[in-house]
Amino acid sequence: MACFGPLATLLASCALLLSWYYSDMINAIGSVGTGYTAKTICSSVFVANRSAQSAFENDLERIAQLVVSYDVDSEKKLVTASAFMGLFTSQARYHGRYTGCSIISNPAQYKAEHKLMFDELSSDSDEKSKPEGQAVEELPERTMQAVQAVVDGEFMTAAYEQGRTRAIVVLHKGAVVGEGYATEHMADVTRGTGHLGWSMTKALTSVLIGVRIHQGYLSLDSIVHGNSTLHDLLLMTDVLRVEEDYREVGDIPRMLYTVPSIRQFIATYPQDSGRQPGGESAWHYSSALSNIISDVLLKTFPTIQDYWRFPREYLFDVIGAYSLVMETDQSGLFVSSSFSYGTALDWAKVGQLLLNGGQWNGQQILDENYVRKMWERSEHSGDIYGMQVWCVPRHPLPSDAPFHVRHERQSILRLLQAGVPDDTCWFSGHLGQFVIVMPSRQLVVTRLGHTNNMVAPRDPALWDTWQPTWNVTHFLHSVLAATAAQ
Protein backbone atom coordinates (compact mmCIF):
# COMPACT_ATOMS: atom_id res chain seq x y z
CA MET A 1 0.00 0.00 0.00
CA ALA A 2 2.97 2.28 0.55
CA CYS A 3 3.36 2.72 -3.18
CA PHE A 4 0.14 4.72 -3.22
CA GLY A 5 1.46 7.17 -0.64
CA PRO A 6 3.03 9.73 -3.03
CA LEU A 7 -0.02 9.66 -5.30
CA ALA A 8 -2.37 10.13 -2.37
CA THR A 9 -0.24 13.01 -1.10
CA LEU A 10 -0.22 14.61 -4.55
CA LEU A 11 -4.00 14.28 -4.88
CA ALA A 12 -4.54 15.68 -1.41
CA SER A 13 -2.25 18.62 -2.17
CA CYS A 14 -4.09 19.31 -5.43
CA ALA A 15 -7.42 19.14 -3.63
CA LEU A 16 -6.14 21.57 -1.00
CA LEU A 17 -4.92 24.01 -3.64
CA LEU A 18 -8.18 23.79 -5.56
CA SER A 19 -10.25 24.27 -2.42
CA TRP A 20 -8.16 27.34 -1.53
CA TYR A 21 -8.42 28.73 -5.08
CA TYR A 22 -12.16 28.19 -5.26
CA SER A 23 -12.98 28.89 -1.60
CA ASP A 24 -14.28 32.40 -2.31
CA MET A 25 -16.48 31.11 -5.10
CA ILE A 26 -17.80 28.21 -2.97
CA ASN A 27 -18.51 30.57 -0.08
CA ALA A 28 -20.22 32.99 -2.43
CA ILE A 29 -22.38 30.33 -4.05
CA GLY A 30 -23.18 28.91 -0.63
CA SER A 31 -23.99 32.11 1.25
CA VAL A 32 -25.35 34.23 -1.62
CA GLY A 33 -27.07 31.28 -3.30
CA THR A 34 -28.96 30.16 -0.21
CA GLY A 35 -29.82 33.74 0.74
CA TYR A 36 -31.07 34.48 -2.77
CA THR A 37 -33.11 31.27 -2.85
CA ALA A 38 -34.71 31.76 0.58
CA LYS A 39 -35.57 35.40 -0.10
CA THR A 40 -36.90 34.78 -3.63
CA ILE A 41 -39.16 31.93 -2.61
CA CYS A 42 -40.39 33.67 0.55
CA SER A 43 -41.39 36.79 -1.37
CA SER A 44 -42.82 34.80 -4.28
CA VAL A 45 -45.08 32.73 -2.02
CA PHE A 46 -46.13 35.18 0.69
CA VAL A 47 -45.94 38.53 -1.15
CA ALA A 48 -46.40 37.84 -4.87
CA ASN A 49 -49.05 35.06 -4.66
CA ARG A 50 -46.98 32.57 -6.64
CA SER A 51 -46.00 28.95 -6.09
CA ALA A 52 -42.66 28.01 -4.55
CA GLN A 53 -41.93 25.48 -7.26
CA SER A 54 -42.57 27.97 -10.05
CA ALA A 55 -40.30 30.54 -8.41
CA PHE A 56 -37.57 27.93 -7.98
CA GLU A 57 -37.80 26.75 -11.58
CA ASN A 58 -38.31 30.11 -13.30
CA ASP A 59 -36.62 32.77 -11.18
CA LEU A 60 -33.40 31.21 -9.88
CA GLU A 61 -30.09 30.85 -11.67
CA ARG A 62 -29.24 27.37 -12.92
CA ILE A 63 -26.38 26.98 -10.44
CA ALA A 64 -28.75 27.61 -7.52
CA GLN A 65 -31.19 25.04 -8.87
CA LEU A 66 -28.39 22.47 -8.95
CA VAL A 67 -26.88 22.99 -5.49
CA VAL A 68 -29.58 24.60 -3.31
CA SER A 69 -32.61 22.94 -1.73
CA TYR A 70 -35.42 24.68 0.14
CA ASP A 71 -38.26 24.14 2.60
CA VAL A 72 -41.36 26.29 3.08
CA ASP A 73 -42.98 26.41 6.54
CA SER A 74 -46.38 27.90 5.74
CA GLU A 75 -47.45 28.14 9.37
CA LYS A 76 -44.38 30.15 10.43
CA LYS A 77 -44.15 31.84 7.02
CA LEU A 78 -40.51 30.86 6.96
CA VAL A 79 -38.37 29.60 4.08
CA THR A 80 -35.09 27.74 4.69
CA ALA A 81 -32.55 27.17 1.91
CA SER A 82 -29.47 24.91 2.19
CA ALA A 83 -26.48 24.06 0.00
CA PHE A 84 -23.57 21.64 0.03
CA MET A 85 -25.20 19.16 2.43
CA GLY A 86 -26.17 21.84 4.93
CA LEU A 87 -22.79 23.54 5.06
CA PHE A 88 -24.57 26.79 4.09
CA THR A 89 -28.08 27.67 5.27
CA SER A 90 -30.16 30.84 4.98
CA GLN A 91 -33.67 31.71 6.06
CA ALA A 92 -36.24 34.33 5.07
CA ARG A 93 -39.42 35.18 6.97
CA TYR A 94 -42.61 36.98 5.97
CA HIS A 95 -43.58 39.79 8.35
CA GLY A 96 -46.78 41.11 6.79
CA ARG A 97 -47.84 43.68 4.22
CA TYR A 98 -45.79 46.54 5.69
CA THR A 99 -42.36 44.93 5.32
CA GLY A 100 -42.79 41.73 3.27
CA CYS A 101 -40.01 39.16 3.58
CA SER A 102 -36.53 39.67 4.96
CA ILE A 103 -33.46 37.45 5.04
CA ILE A 104 -32.51 36.22 8.48
CA SER A 105 -28.76 35.94 8.11
CA ASN A 106 -28.16 35.95 11.88
CA PRO A 107 -30.98 33.93 13.53
CA ALA A 108 -29.72 34.46 17.07
CA GLN A 109 -29.60 38.23 16.65
CA TYR A 110 -32.97 38.22 14.92
CA LYS A 111 -34.68 36.40 17.77
CA ALA A 112 -33.05 38.56 20.39
CA GLU A 113 -33.50 42.00 18.85
CA HIS A 114 -35.94 42.14 15.97
CA LYS A 115 -38.69 39.51 16.01
CA LEU A 116 -40.94 41.40 18.42
CA MET A 117 -40.24 44.63 16.56
CA PHE A 118 -41.56 43.11 13.32
CA ASP A 119 -44.39 41.18 14.98
CA GLU A 120 -45.82 44.36 16.48
CA LEU A 121 -47.03 45.31 12.99
CA SER A 122 -47.58 41.79 11.69
CA SER A 123 -50.53 41.19 14.01
CA ASP A 124 -52.75 43.76 12.28
CA SER A 125 -51.33 43.79 8.77
CA ASP A 126 -53.48 41.10 7.19
CA GLU A 127 -56.67 42.52 8.71
CA LYS A 128 -56.05 45.78 6.83
CA SER A 129 -55.28 44.21 3.47
CA LYS A 130 -57.74 44.95 0.69
CA PRO A 131 -58.87 42.42 -1.93
CA GLU A 132 -57.01 42.44 -5.22
CA GLY A 133 -58.96 44.32 -7.86
CA GLN A 134 -60.13 47.36 -5.88
CA ALA A 135 -57.10 49.23 -7.23
CA VAL A 136 -58.72 49.25 -10.69
CA GLU A 137 -61.54 51.54 -9.57
CA GLU A 138 -59.40 54.69 -9.74
CA LEU A 139 -58.47 53.96 -13.38
CA PRO A 140 -61.56 53.03 -15.43
CA GLU A 141 -60.73 50.72 -18.31
CA ARG A 142 -61.42 51.62 -21.94
CA THR A 143 -59.30 49.23 -23.91
CA MET A 144 -58.23 50.43 -27.34
CA GLN A 145 -58.10 47.61 -29.84
CA ALA A 146 -54.87 48.76 -31.49
CA VAL A 147 -52.93 48.98 -28.22
CA GLN A 148 -54.32 45.69 -26.99
CA ALA A 149 -53.16 44.01 -30.19
CA VAL A 150 -49.62 45.28 -29.56
CA VAL A 151 -49.73 43.96 -26.00
CA ASP A 152 -51.19 40.59 -27.02
CA GLY A 153 -48.35 40.14 -29.49
CA GLU A 154 -45.83 40.03 -26.65
CA PHE A 155 -47.49 36.91 -25.27
CA MET A 156 -47.60 34.91 -28.49
CA THR A 157 -45.39 31.86 -28.07
CA ALA A 158 -42.46 33.01 -30.22
CA ALA A 159 -42.36 36.50 -28.68
CA TYR A 160 -42.70 35.13 -25.16
CA GLU A 161 -39.90 32.60 -25.66
CA GLN A 162 -37.67 35.43 -26.89
CA GLY A 163 -38.44 38.14 -24.32
CA ARG A 164 -39.96 36.32 -21.32
CA THR A 165 -42.39 39.18 -20.73
CA ARG A 166 -44.67 38.42 -17.76
CA ALA A 167 -46.94 41.46 -17.53
CA ILE A 168 -47.71 44.65 -19.46
CA VAL A 169 -50.03 47.54 -18.60
CA VAL A 170 -50.39 50.63 -20.80
CA LEU A 171 -52.08 53.75 -19.42
CA HIS A 172 -53.13 56.57 -21.75
CA LYS A 173 -54.60 59.76 -20.31
CA GLY A 174 -54.97 57.93 -17.01
CA ALA A 175 -56.95 54.96 -18.36
CA VAL A 176 -55.92 51.35 -18.98
CA VAL A 177 -55.80 50.91 -22.75
CA GLY A 178 -53.76 47.71 -22.96
CA GLU A 179 -53.07 44.91 -20.53
CA GLY A 180 -51.65 41.40 -20.73
CA TYR A 181 -50.14 38.60 -18.65
CA ALA A 182 -48.12 35.46 -19.32
CA THR A 183 -50.72 33.18 -17.71
CA GLU A 184 -50.74 30.86 -20.72
CA HIS A 185 -47.03 30.19 -20.21
CA MET A 186 -46.84 30.48 -16.39
CA ALA A 187 -50.05 29.54 -14.59
CA ASP A 188 -49.20 31.50 -11.43
CA VAL A 189 -48.67 34.80 -13.28
CA THR A 190 -52.00 36.62 -13.41
CA ARG A 191 -53.37 40.11 -12.99
CA GLY A 192 -53.09 39.71 -9.22
CA THR A 193 -49.47 38.56 -9.23
CA GLY A 194 -46.84 40.76 -7.62
CA HIS A 195 -43.57 41.33 -9.48
CA LEU A 196 -40.17 42.14 -8.04
CA GLY A 197 -39.18 45.63 -9.13
CA TRP A 198 -35.47 45.16 -8.47
CA SER A 199 -33.89 48.61 -9.06
CA MET A 200 -37.27 50.20 -9.77
CA THR A 201 -37.32 50.29 -5.97
CA LYS A 202 -34.82 53.16 -6.26
CA ALA A 203 -37.38 55.28 -8.12
CA LEU A 204 -40.08 54.26 -5.65
CA THR A 205 -37.82 55.44 -2.83
CA SER A 206 -37.28 58.76 -4.60
CA VAL A 207 -41.06 59.22 -4.72
CA LEU A 208 -41.26 58.49 -0.99
CA ILE A 209 -38.54 61.06 -0.33
CA GLY A 210 -40.65 63.53 -2.30
CA VAL A 211 -43.66 62.74 -0.11
CA ARG A 212 -41.58 63.28 3.04
CA ILE A 213 -40.24 66.59 1.69
CA HIS A 214 -43.83 67.65 0.94
CA GLN A 215 -44.65 66.87 4.58
CA GLY A 216 -41.85 69.20 5.69
CA TYR A 217 -39.45 66.66 7.23
CA LEU A 218 -36.64 66.75 4.65
CA SER A 219 -34.92 69.09 2.22
CA LEU A 220 -32.89 68.32 -0.89
CA ASP A 221 -30.19 70.69 0.38
CA SER A 222 -29.72 68.88 3.71
CA ILE A 223 -26.25 67.44 4.35
CA VAL A 224 -26.96 63.77 4.99
CA HIS A 225 -23.81 61.74 4.23
CA GLY A 226 -20.34 63.16 4.79
CA ASN A 227 -20.32 66.34 2.70
CA SER A 228 -23.08 65.12 0.41
CA THR A 229 -26.58 66.56 0.26
CA LEU A 230 -29.73 64.51 -0.15
CA HIS A 231 -29.85 65.83 -3.72
CA ASP A 232 -26.33 64.44 -4.33
CA LEU A 233 -27.42 61.01 -3.13
CA LEU A 234 -30.57 60.98 -5.27
CA LEU A 235 -28.54 61.95 -8.35
CA MET A 236 -25.88 59.37 -7.39
CA THR A 237 -23.17 62.02 -7.35
CA ASP A 238 -21.79 60.86 -4.02
CA VAL A 239 -18.37 59.30 -3.55
CA LEU A 240 -18.94 55.94 -1.84
CA ARG A 241 -16.48 53.17 -2.69
CA VAL A 242 -18.94 50.25 -2.68
CA GLU A 243 -18.54 48.63 -6.10
CA GLU A 244 -21.62 47.95 -8.24
CA ASP A 245 -20.35 44.40 -8.76
CA TYR A 246 -22.99 41.71 -9.34
CA ARG A 247 -20.70 38.68 -9.44
CA GLU A 248 -21.26 36.08 -6.72
CA VAL A 249 -18.28 37.45 -4.78
CA GLY A 250 -19.22 41.08 -5.54
CA ASP A 251 -20.30 43.79 -3.13
CA ILE A 252 -23.95 43.92 -4.19
CA PRO A 253 -24.95 40.23 -3.75
CA ARG A 254 -23.15 40.18 -0.41
CA MET A 255 -24.95 43.35 0.68
CA LEU A 256 -28.36 42.03 -0.35
CA TYR A 257 -28.18 38.39 0.72
CA THR A 258 -25.57 37.76 3.41
CA VAL A 259 -25.59 40.51 6.06
CA PRO A 260 -28.11 41.28 8.83
CA SER A 261 -27.61 45.04 8.52
CA ILE A 262 -27.02 46.82 5.21
CA ARG A 263 -26.24 50.01 7.12
CA GLN A 264 -23.39 48.32 8.96
CA PHE A 265 -22.14 46.75 5.71
CA ILE A 266 -22.01 50.13 3.95
CA ALA A 267 -20.38 51.77 6.97
CA THR A 268 -17.28 49.61 6.42
CA TYR A 269 -16.69 51.36 3.08
CA PRO A 270 -15.13 54.85 3.16
CA GLN A 271 -15.98 57.76 0.93
CA ASP A 272 -13.48 58.31 -1.89
CA SER A 273 -11.30 61.21 -0.83
CA GLY A 274 -10.16 61.71 -4.43
CA ARG A 275 -13.59 62.85 -5.59
CA GLN A 276 -15.94 65.59 -4.44
CA PRO A 277 -19.70 65.05 -3.94
CA GLY A 278 -21.57 66.47 -6.90
CA GLY A 279 -18.32 66.93 -8.81
CA GLU A 280 -17.53 66.09 -12.40
CA SER A 281 -16.08 62.65 -11.64
CA ALA A 282 -18.48 61.74 -8.84
CA TRP A 283 -21.37 60.12 -10.74
CA HIS A 284 -21.52 56.36 -10.32
CA TYR A 285 -24.60 54.18 -10.40
CA SER A 286 -24.72 52.82 -6.84
CA SER A 287 -27.19 50.56 -5.07
CA ALA A 288 -25.43 51.32 -1.79
CA LEU A 289 -26.30 55.01 -2.12
CA SER A 290 -29.99 54.13 -2.52
CA ASN A 291 -29.84 52.25 0.76
CA ILE A 292 -28.20 55.23 2.45
CA ILE A 293 -31.21 57.25 1.24
CA SER A 294 -33.42 54.69 2.97
CA ASP A 295 -31.55 55.32 6.20
CA VAL A 296 -31.98 59.09 5.72
CA LEU A 297 -35.72 58.50 5.43
CA LEU A 298 -35.74 56.30 8.55
CA LYS A 299 -34.15 59.05 10.65
CA THR A 300 -37.13 61.35 10.05
CA PHE A 301 -39.47 59.10 12.07
CA PRO A 302 -39.79 58.75 15.85
CA THR A 303 -40.05 54.95 15.67
CA ILE A 304 -39.13 52.30 13.14
CA GLN A 305 -42.77 51.16 13.06
CA ASP A 306 -43.79 54.64 11.85
CA TYR A 307 -41.17 54.30 9.11
CA TRP A 308 -42.59 50.94 8.05
CA ARG A 309 -46.15 52.31 7.94
CA PHE A 310 -45.18 55.37 5.94
CA PRO A 311 -45.04 53.95 2.34
CA ARG A 312 -48.40 52.23 2.65
CA GLU A 313 -50.32 54.90 4.55
CA TYR A 314 -49.01 57.97 2.69
CA LEU A 315 -48.44 56.62 -0.82
CA PHE A 316 -49.58 53.11 -1.73
CA ASP A 317 -53.07 53.19 -0.19
CA VAL A 318 -53.60 56.80 -1.27
CA ILE A 319 -53.22 55.92 -4.96
CA GLY A 320 -54.96 52.55 -4.61
CA ALA A 321 -51.76 50.57 -5.17
CA TYR A 322 -52.64 48.06 -2.46
CA SER A 323 -50.33 45.31 -3.67
CA LEU A 324 -47.13 47.36 -3.40
CA VAL A 325 -44.75 46.21 -0.67
CA MET A 326 -41.29 47.48 0.21
CA GLU A 327 -39.14 44.90 1.99
CA THR A 328 -36.49 45.28 4.66
CA ASP A 329 -33.23 43.72 5.73
CA GLN A 330 -33.02 41.90 9.06
CA SER A 331 -32.42 45.17 10.94
CA GLY A 332 -35.63 46.68 9.56
CA LEU A 333 -34.15 49.03 6.94
CA PHE A 334 -36.06 49.15 3.65
CA VAL A 335 -33.80 47.71 0.95
CA SER A 336 -34.37 50.71 -1.28
CA SER A 337 -31.95 49.51 -3.92
CA SER A 338 -33.73 46.31 -4.83
CA PHE A 339 -36.65 44.82 -2.88
CA SER A 340 -40.21 45.86 -3.66
CA TYR A 341 -43.16 43.99 -5.15
CA GLY A 342 -46.36 45.03 -6.86
CA THR A 343 -48.80 44.10 -9.59
CA ALA A 344 -48.22 45.59 -13.02
CA LEU A 345 -51.22 47.89 -12.59
CA ASP A 346 -49.98 49.18 -9.24
CA TRP A 347 -46.51 49.84 -10.62
CA ALA A 348 -48.19 51.77 -13.44
CA LYS A 349 -50.07 53.89 -10.90
CA VAL A 350 -46.82 55.19 -9.47
CA GLY A 351 -45.82 56.27 -12.98
CA GLN A 352 -49.23 57.90 -13.43
CA LEU A 353 -48.76 59.81 -10.16
CA LEU A 354 -45.60 61.36 -11.57
CA LEU A 355 -47.29 62.05 -14.90
CA ASN A 356 -49.92 63.90 -12.86
CA GLY A 357 -47.23 66.10 -11.31
CA GLY A 358 -47.51 64.39 -7.92
CA GLN A 359 -51.30 64.76 -7.69
CA TRP A 360 -53.88 62.01 -7.25
CA ASN A 361 -57.63 62.59 -7.28
CA GLY A 362 -57.11 66.24 -6.39
CA GLN A 363 -54.68 65.53 -3.55
CA GLN A 364 -51.09 66.79 -3.87
CA ILE A 365 -49.01 63.89 -2.54
CA LEU A 366 -45.61 65.30 -3.50
CA ASP A 367 -44.68 68.68 -4.91
CA GLU A 368 -44.85 69.18 -8.66
CA ASN A 369 -41.45 70.90 -8.47
CA TYR A 370 -39.97 67.75 -6.91
CA VAL A 371 -41.33 65.67 -9.80
CA ARG A 372 -39.67 68.04 -12.27
CA LYS A 373 -36.39 67.67 -10.39
CA MET A 374 -36.71 63.88 -10.58
CA TRP A 375 -36.64 64.20 -14.38
CA GLU A 376 -33.74 66.69 -14.47
CA ARG A 377 -30.76 64.81 -15.85
CA SER A 378 -27.37 65.09 -14.15
CA GLU A 379 -24.80 66.28 -16.69
CA HIS A 380 -22.17 64.14 -14.96
CA SER A 381 -24.22 61.00 -15.73
CA GLY A 382 -23.94 61.65 -19.45
CA ASP A 383 -27.40 63.26 -19.44
CA ILE A 384 -29.16 59.95 -18.69
CA TYR A 385 -29.88 59.93 -14.93
CA GLY A 386 -32.14 62.04 -12.74
CA MET A 387 -33.17 61.46 -9.13
CA GLN A 388 -33.15 57.63 -9.12
CA VAL A 389 -34.70 57.49 -12.63
CA TRP A 390 -33.32 57.09 -16.14
CA CYS A 391 -34.07 59.47 -19.02
CA VAL A 392 -33.56 59.79 -22.75
CA PRO A 393 -30.41 61.94 -23.26
CA ARG A 394 -30.91 65.35 -24.84
CA HIS A 395 -27.30 66.44 -25.28
CA PRO A 396 -24.18 64.95 -26.92
CA LEU A 397 -21.81 62.99 -24.71
CA PRO A 398 -18.45 64.72 -24.13
CA SER A 399 -15.58 62.89 -25.78
CA ASP A 400 -13.69 62.66 -22.48
CA ALA A 401 -16.58 61.06 -20.54
CA PRO A 402 -15.44 58.24 -18.19
CA PHE A 403 -15.88 54.67 -19.40
CA HIS A 404 -18.64 53.80 -16.92
CA VAL A 405 -20.68 56.79 -18.12
CA ARG A 406 -20.19 55.83 -21.78
CA HIS A 407 -21.18 52.23 -20.98
CA GLU A 408 -24.40 53.23 -19.21
CA ARG A 409 -25.31 55.64 -21.99
CA GLN A 410 -24.73 52.98 -24.64
CA SER A 411 -27.22 50.72 -22.86
CA ILE A 412 -29.77 53.54 -22.79
CA LEU A 413 -29.31 54.41 -26.46
CA ARG A 414 -29.81 50.77 -27.46
CA LEU A 415 -32.85 50.33 -25.21
CA LEU A 416 -34.63 53.52 -26.26
CA GLN A 417 -33.58 54.63 -29.71
CA ALA A 418 -34.76 57.32 -32.14
CA GLY A 419 -38.43 58.12 -32.28
CA VAL A 420 -39.11 58.05 -28.54
CA PRO A 421 -40.13 61.49 -27.14
CA ASP A 422 -37.18 63.29 -25.55
CA ASP A 423 -39.12 63.88 -22.32
CA THR A 424 -39.28 60.10 -21.74
CA CYS A 425 -38.01 58.91 -18.35
CA TRP A 426 -38.42 55.57 -16.62
CA PHE A 427 -37.90 53.33 -13.64
CA SER A 428 -35.60 50.45 -14.55
CA GLY A 429 -34.93 47.13 -12.82
CA HIS A 430 -32.82 44.03 -13.35
CA LEU A 431 -34.08 41.49 -15.89
CA GLY A 432 -36.14 43.99 -17.85
CA GLN A 433 -38.46 45.74 -15.39
CA PHE A 434 -39.74 49.09 -16.70
CA VAL A 435 -42.20 51.82 -15.80
CA ILE A 436 -41.84 54.28 -18.71
CA VAL A 437 -43.40 57.74 -18.45
CA MET A 438 -43.93 59.91 -21.55
CA PRO A 439 -45.50 63.20 -20.39
CA SER A 440 -45.88 64.74 -23.85
CA ARG A 441 -47.89 61.70 -24.99
CA GLN A 442 -49.71 61.16 -21.66
CA LEU A 443 -48.50 57.56 -21.62
CA VAL A 444 -47.31 55.23 -18.89
CA VAL A 445 -46.00 51.86 -20.08
CA THR A 446 -45.24 49.17 -17.52
CA ARG A 447 -43.43 46.02 -18.60
CA LEU A 448 -42.32 43.29 -16.18
CA GLY A 449 -40.42 40.13 -17.05
CA HIS A 450 -37.45 37.87 -16.56
CA THR A 451 -35.19 38.83 -19.44
CA ASN A 452 -31.42 38.50 -19.62
CA ASN A 453 -29.09 40.59 -21.81
CA MET A 454 -30.69 43.96 -21.13
CA VAL A 455 -27.40 45.77 -20.41
CA ALA A 456 -24.72 46.50 -22.99
CA PRO A 457 -21.56 44.33 -22.83
CA ARG A 458 -18.50 45.84 -21.19
CA ASP A 459 -16.40 45.51 -24.36
CA PRO A 460 -16.84 48.69 -26.49
CA ALA A 461 -16.03 46.68 -29.61
CA LEU A 462 -19.39 44.94 -29.23
CA TRP A 463 -21.52 48.03 -28.66
CA ASP A 464 -22.45 48.69 -32.29
CA THR A 465 -23.81 45.17 -32.81
CA TRP A 466 -25.38 44.51 -29.39
CA GLN A 467 -29.17 44.40 -29.16
CA PRO A 468 -31.19 43.84 -25.96
CA THR A 469 -33.16 40.61 -25.79
CA TRP A 470 -36.47 42.47 -25.47
CA ASN A 471 -36.82 45.23 -28.05
CA VAL A 472 -38.07 48.14 -25.94
CA THR A 473 -37.93 50.63 -28.82
CA HIS A 474 -40.00 48.47 -31.18
CA PHE A 475 -42.69 47.96 -28.55
CA LEU A 476 -42.85 51.66 -27.67
CA HIS A 477 -43.00 52.70 -31.32
CA SER A 478 -45.98 50.38 -31.76
CA VAL A 479 -47.73 51.84 -28.70
CA LEU A 480 -46.99 55.39 -29.83
CA ALA A 481 -48.41 54.65 -33.27
CA ALA A 482 -51.53 53.08 -31.76
CA THR A 483 -52.20 56.13 -29.57
CA ALA A 484 -51.15 58.80 -32.06
CA ALA A 485 -54.70 59.87 -32.93
CA GLN A 486 -55.92 59.97 -29.33
pLDDT digits (tens, 9 = 90+) for 216-240: 999 999 999 888 999 999 999 876 7
Q: How far apart are CA 261 and CA 335, in angstroms?
A: 10
Q: How many CB atoms lie within 10 A of CB 372?
A: 13
Q: How many CB atoms lie within 10 A of CB 231?
A: 18
Amino acid at 157: T
pLDDT in tens, 111-140: 655 555 666 565 444 434 333 333 333 333
List phi, psi (to 5°) of 479.
Answer: -65, -45
pLDDT in tens, 71-110: 999 999 999 999 988 889 999 999 999 999 999 977 766 6
- For the entire predicted model, the pTM comes to 0.90
Q: Quick check: 103 and 91 in contact, CB under 8 A?
A: yes
Instruction: Please state which of the ranges 11-25, 184-198, 257-271, 365-379 shows the lowest mean pLDDT.
Output: 11-25
Crossing angle, helix 23-46 and helix 5-21, to 10 degrees?
Answer: 50
- Three-class SS string for the chain? CHHHHHHHHHHHHHHHHHHHHCHHHHHHHHHHHHHHHHHHHHHHHHCCCCCHHHHHHHHCCHHHHHHEEEEEECCCCEEEEEECCCCEEEEEEECCCCCCEEEECCHHHHHHHHHHHHHHHHHHHHHHCCCCCHHHHHCCECCCHHHHHHHHHCCCHHHHHHHCEEEEEEEECCEEEEEEECCCCCCCCCCCCCEECCCHHHHHHHHHHHHHHHCCCCCCCCEEECCEEHHHHHHCCCCECCCCCCCCCCHHHHHHHCCCCHHHHHHCCCECCCCCCCCCCCCCCCHHHHHHHHHHHHCCCCCHHHHHHHHHHHHHCCCCCCCCEECECCCCCECCCCCEEECHHHHHHHHHHHHCCCEECCEECCCHHHHHHHHCCCHHHCCCECCCCEECCCCCCCCCCCHHHHHHHHHHHHHCCCCCCCCCEEEEECCCEEEEEEHHHCEEEEEEECCCCCCCCCCHHHCCCCCCCCCHHHHHHHHHHHCCCC
Q: Which of 154-158, 258-262, 406-410 has the highest mean pLDDT?
A: 154-158
Q: How many CB atoms lie within 10 A of CB 91?
A: 24
Q: Quick check: 190 and 181 in contact, CB under 8 A?
A: yes
Q: How far apart are CA 238 and CA 390, in angstroms?
A: 17
Q: Quick check: 129 and 322 in contact, CB under 8 A?
A: yes
pLDDT in the model for residue 134: 33
Q: Quick check: 206 and 388 in contact, CB under 8 A?
A: yes
pLDDT in tens, 346-398: 999 999 999 999 999 999 999 999 999 999 999 999 999 999 999 999 888 88
Residue 336 — very low, low, confident or very high, per pLDDT cuts 50/70/90? very high
pLDDT in tens, 306-332: 999 999 999 999 999 999 999 999 999
Q: Which of 313, 351, 320 is nearest to 134 (CA)?
A: 320
pLDDT at residue 68 tops 50: yes
